[in-house]
A and B are shown apart, each in its own frame.
Chain A
Amino acid sequence: MNWLLNNYESIPFYLFTHLRLSILPIAIGFVLALPLGWLAWRFQVTRGLLLTLVGLLYTIPSLALFALLPPLLGLPYLSEANVEIALTIYAVALMARSAADAFGSVDPGVRQSAVAMGYGTWRRIWEVELPLAGPVLLAGLRVVAVSTVALVTVGVLVGVQSLGFYFTDGSQRQIPFEVFTGVVLTMLLALAIDGLLVLLGRALMPWARPSKRRPMNRWIRALGTGKVAEAVR
């Protein structure tokens, strides 16, 4: 506790650095994964190829990727770009699979209706498939966000500061409470970003709320089962 009283002033700096380092890979990973996921969903050939590739990419241990990228890309080890690119690779790897699942979750009947109504490919993807794939995309993005926030901490081993600083500093100075603070703050940051994504999802996709809250759904089901009287009650 003494440590916290003496060091709380450093917390905002590491918290915001951590947040800054997390947001870019999450956002870029999401945008890059959408077309990849669509390709994986649409064509058998690309599906096998892409899903195998992203599976292999995600298998790579983070520290190894942090050490592998700088010589390949000509970056210095201490650069943030190194960690950002590595985390983006993980984000794309995780998200592409979710995106393929998400496009697969769109009802083929709805898709065919859009085609029948004369929607072109791009307009169909943009106005029909993407919104309907939204809930599954959001689920995938939440996983990506939470694991990215956790992975940022490993960057401290290649000299990129984040809340991971409290892990190494606390470990070297033998202050368990400092390490504990780092772990808790990392998890709280992940939780906060996760919560924001849920709120964002509710704002953008009001139709995707749980069906309990939509009385119309209950009515339609009731019509199907012939139990309208019970539903009205």
Chain B
Amino acid sequence: MDLIGATLAWIAGFVGSGELWQRLGEHLTYTFGSVLIALVIAVPIGYLIGHTGKGRELAVGITGAARALPSFGLMLLLVSLVGVVQRPIAAYAAFVILAVPSILAGAYSGIQAIDKTTVDAARAIGMTEWQILWKVEAPLGLRLLVGGIRSATLQVVATVTLAAYINLGGLGYPLLQAIPLRRDEQAFGAAIIVIVLALLLDAAFGLIGVLLDRLIPTGAAPRRPRRPRAVPTRRARMVEAPTAS
């Protein structure tokens, strides 16, 4: 096929000219920068909700509402509100807003999923509430928290692709440039690069998950013997189900 050859040639040029690394750098800076900010905001709140059991309905509501929020519209809304100069800050704010719900859900559901007798045992041997949080709940809840961070990262990676529309670069830039110019090979090649990046990040989180499974005991309640396949709880499903991107 003609397109495949042309696409490979375009990708070779894109890598060769060094533009790939510049765009990848922009893309990853936005992605990890906003996920880190979201972690700082969402993890303490999620742990507070998970530890005290208060405000759970609020967290569920926020996560549900966030799914209906069109990420592209949110980004453009914040950018048009603050004006052209502050564009990167507005974009960061949008990415953080998109990343917070998944991480929040991961943080609190990780703690909620822990068998209550484990926490009570920790309390019974004289641990303070802080010790319970850091030595029992945080490690045992880490697996679900990482799941939440994974959803958040993938959603932000997808949304950063759209940031090229407001001239913020990233790997979406060659893609959006190609569509009106009808450069099929460029659109195709850029799409492949974006997809490979998303799949690599997904795989990296999958690897972290496997490592955590080896290192950390589950601490979750034993499965009921009656049902051969445990059905995820509503909360666990909520973390697993990614939001629109």
Contact = CB atoms under 8 A, between A and B. Distances in A.
B171 to A, nearest CB: 9
Interface stretch (A118-126, A186-194, A213-221, A223-231): A186-194
Contact of A170 (B76, B191, B202, B243): B76
A148 B70 CA distance: 10
Interface string B218-245: 0000000011110110100100111111
B190 A171 contact: no
B73 interface: yes
A71 interface: yes
A158 B68 CA distance: 21
A68 B191 contact: yes
Contacts of B73: 153, 164, 166-167, 179, 182-183, 186
Contacts of B228: 108
Contacts of B190: 64, 67
B72 to A, nearest CB: 5
B34 interface: no
Interface string A102-118: 00110110000000000
A136 B234 CA distance: 9
Contacts of A71: 3, 184, 187-188
Given A64-B161, A67-B191, A59 B76 contact: no
Q: Is the interface of A mostly helix, strand, loop or mixed?
A: helix
Contacts of B226: 108
Contacts of A196: none
Contact of B198 (A59, A98, A136): A59
Which of A55, A108, A146, A159 has the largest count of B CB atoms less than 10 A from its CB? A146
A2 B182 CA distance: 36
A26 interface: no
B80 A153 contact: no
Interface string A19-34: 0000000000000000
A139 interface: yes
B107 interface: no
A58 interface: yes
B80 A174 contact: yes
A229 to B, nearest CB: 30
B76 A171 contact: yes
Interface in B34-91: 65, 67-74, 76-77, 79-81
Given A68-B195, A171-B166, A180 B229 contact: no
A149 B68 contact: yes
Contacts of A183: 69-70, 73-74, 77
B80 A143 contact: no
Which of B65, B175, B234 has the largest count of A CB atoms less than 10 A from its CB? B175
B122 interface: no
Contacts of A175: 80
B121 interface: no
Given A61-B195, A67-B187, A153 B158 contact: no
Interface of B: 3, 65, 67-74, 76-77, 79-81, 154, 157-158, 161-162, 165-166, 172, 175-176, 178-179, 182, 184, 187-188, 190-192, 194-195, 198-199, 202, 226-229, 231-232, 234, 237, 240-245
3 A-B pairs with least C-beta separation: A61-B158, A147-B244, A67-B191
Interface of A: 41, 55-56, 58-65, 67-68, 70-71, 77, 94, 97-98, 101, 104-105, 107-108, 136, 139, 143, 146-151, 153-154, 157-159, 164, 166-168, 170-171, 174-176, 179-180, 182-183, 186-187, 190-191, 194
Given A143-B67, A168-B76, 17 more contacts: A62-B244, A63-B175, A67-B178, A104-B231, A146-B68, A147-B243, A150-B69, A153-B72, A164-B70, A164-B73, A167-B72, A167-B73, A168-B165, A174-B80, A183-B69, A187-B65, A194-B68
